[in-house]
Structure 1
Amino acid sequence: MTTKMRSEIAEQPAALRATLDALLPRVGEVERLAGQTRQLLFIARGTSDNAAVYGRYLAEAHAGRLSTLAAPSIATTYRRKLDLDGVLAVALSQSGRTEEIVETLAWAKDCGASTVAITNGGEQSPLAQAADLALCTLAGEEKAVPATKTYTTQLAALAVLGLGLGADVNADDLQRVPDAVEKLISDPGDLEAVVEGLADKPGVVVSGRGLAFSTALELALKLKEACYLHAMGLSYADLLHGPIAVVDEDTPAILVAAGEGPTLAGTVALAERVTGAGASAFTVGGGTALAAAGTAALNGPDLPEWVSPLGLIVPGQLLTEALARRLGIDPDAPRGLNKVTQTD
């Protein structure tokens, strides 16, 4: 029986094409709004927060815009007013109905920020209605609790945002993303070996750096929520500052990297260190160099680093779904979780 999660993973190429077709013509709207601002504030929780990490790295590495992740409790719990003049506040919510995120975006506007919403909830969702500009993704209804197509389309919207910020990238690269994702779905690499390598393990460390850091965080979250693993998502720089001590025969590492870019060499070196210490290093992406340094490899997309996270997560999604089934867990409905999470 095919799970809803697996079906929705397969829907991603179409969802990405539809989203890019809808949002790429709106780059000029983003440019006009962003032209009034100097820096970015990303407002999100959960999977959307991981997407925001991609947005932050893209804005800083390619558009030269200082960016940060908001602490919504400053708005909703401490109720402090800040000076956000010159700030572009970008709120992400798959449903567009998470009250904390809607309230925080309204707070940001009240503090002087220009506001953008990224949501799959449509133009009439509370979040879209609260924003100066709404970039609505077209993933369609997502029924499985673990986010897949709503996450990758959020990344697509953030890539469009990056173009509007003036990122020094080739916009044509985005048109290659749906086909690259389709290829990964049909050929994710040595999926069975990685599933078996994790099936008897209580925990795993997932690590990447730079633009791939968002993928490491998102894959760790998926393994926690759908497979009940103690999964830790870390930048490899932070991993080397102490937590690498937990990587051993019982705690393997999953290492994520684009096939090019300044963080690839360090990820390869980390894989060699992990395997040299007798632990397993399962790799995602990173081309032949990272695959050769690891224990078993999942494929990455044939895409430039700046858009690689839109594809890098896909083998991780397939891994999560397959591992959950291997463990006897229904990945569509993990215990204790709902599709829309409300926080105080």
Structure 2
Amino acid sequence: MCGIVGYIGYREAYPIVIKGLKRLEYRGYDSAGVMLYDGQNMKVAKAKGKVTDLEERAEKEITLNGTIGIGHTRWATHGVPNDVNSHPHISNSGDLAIIHNGIIENYAPLKAELKSRGYVFHSDTDTEVLVNLIEEVQKKDNLKLGKAVQVALNQVVGAYAIAVFDKKNPNEIVAARLGSPLAIGIGEGEFFIASDASPFIEYTSNAVYLEDGEMANIRLHKEMKVRKIQDDTLVNPTIQELQMNLEQIEKGGYDHFMLKEIYEQPSVIKDTYRGRLHANEGLIQMAGIEDNLEKFLNAERIIIVACGTSWHAGLVAEYIFEEFARIPVEVEYASEFRYRNPIINRKDVVIAISQSGETADTMAAIKLAKENGAFVFGVCNVVGSSISRETHAGAYTHAGPEIGVASTKAFTTQITVLTMIALRLAKAKGTLSNSVFHSYLQELEIIPEKVKEALETNERAKEIAAVFKDAPNCLYLGRGYNFPVALEGALKLKEISYIHAEGYPAAEMKHGPIALIDEHMPVIVIAPKQGHYDKIVSNIQEIKSRSGKIIAVVTKGDTQVRELADYIIEIPETSDALSPLITTIPLQLLSYHIAVMRGCNVDQPRNLAKSVTVE
């Protein structure tokens, strides 16, 4: 949510900032802005809409030279999306400029106090309050910018990642974070600031990820200083070598990032189990599990906390952990878990799942679990992210950068990691026989080939999409391991095509949703041969008798459902427990093609952000 880019160095800042903002478009936004400093003047351009709209505005309204610049993509929280509310915001004196990702919760009393001191506000944003608070502190106590930012931040309540510039001291940018991510790229005689590393990967492979409660004074021709905001303690930051490369964040010939990421799933699933799964030797080796095996084996229960697609992966994991390892599992929305005073014990293991590793609600749930003595294990995709640092241990998914807002490869790689954990625990506990354990290892090893085969349903999904692209509603039904896949399929459709869709356990249809079924209602049924096949055939017959339009995802060679369904999509056979890795593929493709045919922005759906870093 919101994207931040900054540059200070010897290059022209404008192209770096604009290109960086485009790489952060996946985060979701409704307006954009840029500030450039040319040695004498701060030049600001802002526009509602896309970064391309900002480019048009900037080229008309300001000169584009200058080796210092900051830019921002805004996802509206305080104030409607418009030019005035866009960032950067300028202080009343015209000396300070700020960009901000987050929410200042106590902005209203601060604003009232500043108004009483003569400050005038032009926008509805909390960010304009913050920049003027910094200015007031700076003027009142005659402080340098860094100290003024520190004092001001100790007066605010909320979350933030900020970059602040003062034209009176133009060789410096001050950056700070609390609850929202911020990376600083370190080059030769230049620095880059961004919400993640993607805006600067072609310029430097060295980055510092600020920790919560830290700020950085970034000065030309000087070493960067990092301090604790609360007590001014100097911090020795860890410089990380970036694992990302430019090719990973380009479309690579695909029309959309989402389609590219759907097709990357065979390779990223393999990357996720590479070095961990040794099928021929009958071994699973994951350092985060091996080092903490006793914690898992002695757990009285596992609590999984996540949001969105990651929550659906957690639901699949609930079935897998309980089936394989016989450990009780609860799956919680992180956003609810943190506020409902949950019972957490020292013998609980909490698994936190997040693609970005920055999800605000999941971070808060982690902190709550740790305060109550639970062991917390993270599953995330982004190396060096906040969740990977905050948890006691964890495992990366190795999916590579996921740019499309609608998550695809994160879902399947999360399930892959969670399945390996469950299998390792089952082996240690002896809850699976050796033969069954080995068969699962061998099956998991060939899943990438089966996913590749499932991707061959693309043309069939496209044909079905053409029939149902104008449907106002859609139902998704699944049973057992594939109930969470029904939820995920419905989420994908509503996220990117804006069609109202709901997922249900197929047996729950009789408890309400069946009232919705008529000849206009498409019903997508996940009906592989393994699992509760006979039961789901009965559910399909109930839909058929009420004239619902049935699209069934079935195992190759199925005859029974073929006779009942209006449309079928065939997938390769696999074991019931691993079937979500296959059944989700045609649902991703179907959602993608429906969205494209409806003219929707597939990679950047309206109102959505890739990484939800505010509540």
Q: 1:162 aligns with which of 417, 422, 443?
A: 422
RMSD: 1.9
Q: 1:254 aligns with which of 508, 515, 524?
A: 524
Larger radius of gyration: 2
Higher RCO (CA 8 Å, separation ≥ 6 residues):
1
Q: How far apart are residue 196 of structure 1 and its match?
A: 2.8
Q: 2:328 aligns with which of 66, 76, 81?
A: 66
Cα separation, 2, equivalents of 1:147 and 1:73: 19
Q: 2:390 aligns with which of 106, 116, 130?
A: 130
Identity of aligned residues (%): 27
Q: 1:241 to 1:67 in 2, by over 3 A?
A: same
Q: 1:258 to 1:29 in 2, by over 3 A?
A: farther
Cα separation, 1, equivalents of 2:539 and 2:572: 21
- Contact preservation (8 Å) 1:193, 1:296: no
C-alpha distance after superposition, 1:20-40 (max 9, x if no partner): 114432164464431121211
Cα separation, 2, equivalents of 1:30 and 1:271: 45
SS at match of 1:82: coil
Cα separation, 1, equivalents of 2:276 and 2:574: 20
SS at match of 1:255: strand
- Contact preservation (8 Å) 2:355, 2:382: yes
Cα separation, 1, equivalents of 2:462 and 2:514: 25
SS at match of 1:232: strand
Cα separation, 2, equivalents of 1:188 and 1:299: 11
Q: How far apart are residue 295 of structure 1 and its match?
A: 1.1
Q: How far apart are residue 281 of structure 1 and its match?
A: 0.9
Cα separation, 1, equivalents of 2:568 and 2:307: 30
- Contact preservation (8 Å) 1:30, 1:161: no
SS at match of 1:190: helix
Task: Structure 2 unaligned segments of length 5 or more: list them.
Answer: 1-253, 278-284
Alignment of 1:37-186 (within 5 A): 37-73=299-335, 76-78=338-340, 80=341, 82-122=343-383, 124-166=384-426, 168=432, 169=437, 170-186=440-456
1:319 equivalent to 2:590? Answer: yes
Which of the pair is proportionally richer in strand? 2
- Contact preservation (8 Å) 1:202, 1:250: no
Cα separation, 2, equivalents of 1:182 and 1:148: 14
**Letter paired with 1:54:** V
Total equivalences in the alignment: 341
SS at match of 1:339: coil
Q: Which residue of 1 aligns with 2:489?
A: 219
- Contact preservation (8 Å) 1:23, 1:135: no
Cα separation, 1, equivalents of 2:562 and 2:333: 37
Q: 1:290 to 1:40 in 2, by over 3 A?
A: farther
1:265 equivalent to 2:525? Answer: no
Q: Which residue of 2 aligns with 1:307?
A: 578
Q: 1:301 to 1:117 in 2, by over 3 A?
A: farther
Q: How far apart are residue 88 of structure 1 and its match?
A: 1.3
Which of the pair is proportionally richer in helix? 1
Cα separation, 1, equivalents of 2:271 and 2:483: 26
Q: How far apart are residue 133 of structure 1 and its match?
A: 1.9
SS at match of 2:551: strand
Normalised TM-score (structure 1): 0.93
- Contact preservation (8 Å) 2:344, 2:369: no
**Letter paired with 2:568:** A
Task: Structure 1 unaligned segments of length 5 or more: list them.
Answer: none
Normalised TM-score (structure 2): 0.53
**Letter paired with 1:113:** A
- Contact preservation (8 Å) 2:353, 2:380: yes
1:3 equivalent to 2:256? Answer: yes
SS at match of 2:378: strand
Q: Which residue of 1 aligns with 2:128?
A: none
